[in-house]
């Protein structure tokens, strides 16, 4: 212990010190004047401020204190002078030792029970400071027991959410939580039984770590499956997940995200795409998104071995492919549910509609599409060397040619030979390309079906020769040869290309058909039966309905 050597103390002349300092040899000037004296010349019990070095070995502070306080400290049982900071620490240490001695034989559980019963205000500071985490954990369990006894907690599942910092503060365990942190104390107490998100709140910044989000979301999806809310973890349904996040105490995970979809894609970029979840309004219609999705789909089909190159797209592209990759809504919103339109958007003018396994709905209802497809198939056949040139049309099996390019189904609805004769009149004669049944030549498979039904149910069936212009429409200056005449008074005609919305060629056919229908219906002594492609559906039900009234 020591005062600072050599220091001079400023004092003022006064009635109480004049005689003292005159005896010490100081020269008086006048009352109130300041003068400096040596430290050793100050009176005992002086209130003058002096500089003192702190007596704590680890402290190097020099502090100011009144000389009387300094004298009292060094003359007491302490025998030293300490700065304010060291003095406080020393008193706290003495108090801590005293508390330890007083509480040495007292159980911490008993103390806490007194705290809960309000027999004590709180745990002594020194006791909290010396408490181990095992003891703190036992106090948490004691609190749970108390909460259960008072029906604050009814089952173990409620424990994590009940033990919030507010609860700890209410039941006087907040200083213990400050020592260990609430999460550390709870994790230690329950040995990882509960997940971090099962508690009332997570630690600050917890959800900013991707690993924490991944763990929580994987747990969340498994819980949804266990509770039968979802069926397949690999293919999530497009439902609202926010209410379920709230149910499982995970709503905080969305703090930095506008939607569950954004959260999942950011957390699992290798597994999920934005369209695997409900998308924002107009998301699909943004050009950048449309292009990205179609490019992704093409690349994904290659990665999954569905196609080897884009040339394989028509053979595989179907609505089911889009559904498989959670893109059904995208296909509907952007491309009218047409795979052709979708891939034509990405690779414009690369393919025709009929090159795809499935053409757009009602595509073949338009005669213009039929004519275009047939012309393309014949020209493609020449290009591929299947037929040499147009002169081969008459001798080549055209059904086989169209079948090669996926167009043989057109024979089921249209008189393909007739259309070819209109497309290539100089190269193909429709009258030379007929189907034979029992020696009777017919223009198409459809006519062959109708003919089979007619000869099965009628005995007097005549197929007029086309050179016999039996019926003359003077009003239109046209001659008509019907397909069948039954019992000499029933005229039957099949209109295989009837389509008022088709190309000019098809419309011309339809207009003539309507003139023919009007004329035959006007003939006296005859019954007229008009048969259309729809009549051949459902096992020729329409044909049967129209002819059965004449069957005896």
Whole-number pLDDT of residue 523: 93
Whole-number pLDDT of residue 530: 95
Average pLDDT of the chain to the nearest whole number: 86
Least confident stretch, 96-100, 162-166, 242-246, 392-396: 96-100
Give the closest residue to 482 by CA, choosing from 473, 498, 471, 472: 471
Q: In sequence order, which residues have a C-beta less than 8 Å from that of residue 494 and are 6 or more positions away? A: 446, 447, 450, 483, 531, 532
CA distance 221 to 199: 18
What does the pLDDT average to over 46-65? Answer: 87
Whole-number pLDDT of residue 517: 94
What does the pLDDT average to over 479-507? Answer: 79
Whole-number pLDDT of residue 196: 84
* pLDDT of 107 above 90: no
Whole-number pLDDT of residue 363: 86
Confidence of residue 89 (pLDDT cuts 50, 70, 90): confident
Whole-number pLDDT of residue 356: 85
| Count of residues making up the chain | 552
Element spanning 318, H or E: none
Share of the chain above pLDDT 90, in %: 36
Three-state SS at 46: coil
* pLDDT of 254 above 60: yes
Confidence of residue 506 (pLDDT cuts 50, 70, 90): low
Least confident stretch, 219-233, 303-317, 498-512: 498-512
Span 419-474, pLDDT tens digits: 888 898 888 877 655 555 665 656 566 788 898 899 999 989 988 876 665 799 99
Whole-number pLDDT of residue 501: 59
DSSP 378-436: HHHHHHTTSSSSGGGTTTS-HHHHHHHTT-GGGGGTS-HHHHHHHHSTTT--GGGS-EE
* pLDDT of 400 above 80: no
Least confident stretch, 79-93, 414-428, 516-530, 538-552: 79-93
102-109: Cβ within 8 A, 24+ apart: 103/127, 108/135, 108/138, 108/139, 109/138, 109/139, 109/142
Residue where the block lists tokens 């240490």 = 93
Whole-number pLDDT of residue 123: 76
DSSP 465-518: -TT---EEETTTTEEE--SEEETTTEEEEE-TT--TTS-HHHHHHHHHHHHHHH
Give the closest residue to 227 by CA, choosing from 208, 243, 203: 243
Whole-number pLDDT of residue 334: 92
| Residues 56/35, Cβ–Cβ less than 8 Å | no
* pLDDT of 41 above 80: yes
Using the Cα atoms of residue 190, residue 192, residue 194 and residue 196 in order, give the sign of their dihedral: positive
Whole-number pLDDT of residue 275: 92
CA distance 438 to 450: 14
* pLDDT of 503 above 60: no
From residue 168, give the alpha-carbon distance in Å to each of 109, 118, 135, 157, 186.
16, 15, 15, 18, 11
Whole-number pLDDT of residue 210: 93
Confidence of residue 302 (pLDDT cuts 50, 70, 90): very high
Tell me the backbone φ, ψ of residue 473, rounded to 5 degrees: -95, 95
| pTM score above 0.85 | no
* pLDDT of 547 above 90: yes
């Amino acid at each position: 212990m020591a005062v600072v050597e050599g220091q001079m103390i400023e004092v003022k002349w006064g009635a109480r010190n004049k005689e003292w300092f005159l005896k010490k040899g100081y020269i008086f000037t006048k009352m109130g004047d300041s003068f400096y004296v040596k430290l050793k010349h100050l009176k005992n019990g002086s209130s003058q401020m002096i500089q003192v070095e702190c007596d704590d070995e680890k402290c190097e502070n020099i502090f100011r204190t009144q000389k009387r306080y300094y004298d009292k400290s060094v003359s007491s049982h302490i025998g030293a002078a300490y700065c304010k900071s060291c003095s406080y620490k020393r008193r706290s240490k003495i108090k801590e030792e005293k508390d330890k001695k007083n509480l040495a034989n007292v159980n911490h559980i008993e103390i806490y029970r007194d705290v809960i019963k309000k027999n004590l205000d709180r745990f002594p500071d020194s006791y909290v400071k010396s408490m181990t985490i095992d003891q703190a954990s036992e106090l948490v369990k004691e609190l749970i027991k108390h909460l259960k006894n008072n029906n604050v907690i009814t089952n173990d599942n409620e424990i994590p959410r009940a033990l919030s910092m507010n609860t700890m503060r209410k039941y006087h365990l907040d200083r213990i939580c400050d020592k260990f942190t609430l999460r550390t104390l709870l994790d230690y107490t329950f040995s990882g039984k509960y997940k971090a998100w099962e508690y009332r709140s997570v630690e600050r910044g917890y959800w900013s770590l991707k690993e924490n989000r991944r763990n929580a979301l994987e747990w969340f999806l498994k819980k949804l499956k266990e509770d039968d809310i979802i069926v397949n973890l690999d293919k999530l349904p497009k439902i609202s997940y926010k209410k379920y996040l709230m149910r499982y105490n995970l709503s905080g995970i969305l703090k930095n995200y506008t939607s569950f979809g954004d959260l999942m894609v950011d957390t699992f970029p290798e597994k999920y795409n934005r369209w695997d979840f409900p998308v924002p309004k107009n998301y699909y219609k943004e050009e950048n998104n449309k292009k990205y999705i179609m490019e992704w789909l093409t690349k994904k089909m290659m990665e999954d071995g569905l196609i080897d190159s884009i040339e394989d797209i028509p053979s595989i592209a179907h609505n089911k492919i889009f559904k498989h990759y959670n893109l059904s809504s995208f296909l509907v919103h952007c491309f009218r549910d047409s795979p052709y339109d979708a891939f034509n958007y990405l690779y414009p003018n690369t393919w025709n509609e009929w090159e795809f396994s499935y053409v757009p709905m009602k595509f073949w209802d338009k005669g213009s599409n039929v004519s275009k497809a047939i012309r393309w198939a014949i020209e493609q056949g020449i290009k591929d060397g299947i037929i040499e040139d147009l002169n081969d049309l008459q001798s080549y099996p055209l059904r086989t040619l169209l079948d090669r390019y996926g167009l043989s189904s057109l024979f089921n609805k249209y008189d393909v030979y007739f259309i070819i004769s209109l497309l290539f009149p100089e190269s193909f004669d429709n009258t030379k390309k007929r189907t034979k049944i029992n020696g009777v030549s017919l223009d198409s498979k459809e006519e062959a079906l109708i003919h089979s039904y007619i000869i099965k149910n009628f005995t007097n069936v005549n197929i007029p020769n086309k050179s016999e212009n039996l019926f003359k429409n003077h009003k239109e200056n046209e001659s008509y040869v019907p397909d069948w005449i039954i019992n000499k008074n029933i005229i039957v005609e099949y209109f295989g290309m009837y389509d008022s919305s088709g190309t000019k060629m098809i419309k011309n056919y339809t207009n003539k058909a309507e003139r023919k229908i009007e004329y035959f219906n006007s003939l006296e002594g005859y019954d007229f039966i008009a048969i259309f492609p729809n009549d051949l559906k459902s096992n020729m039900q329409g044909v049967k309905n129209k002819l059965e009234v004449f069957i005896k």
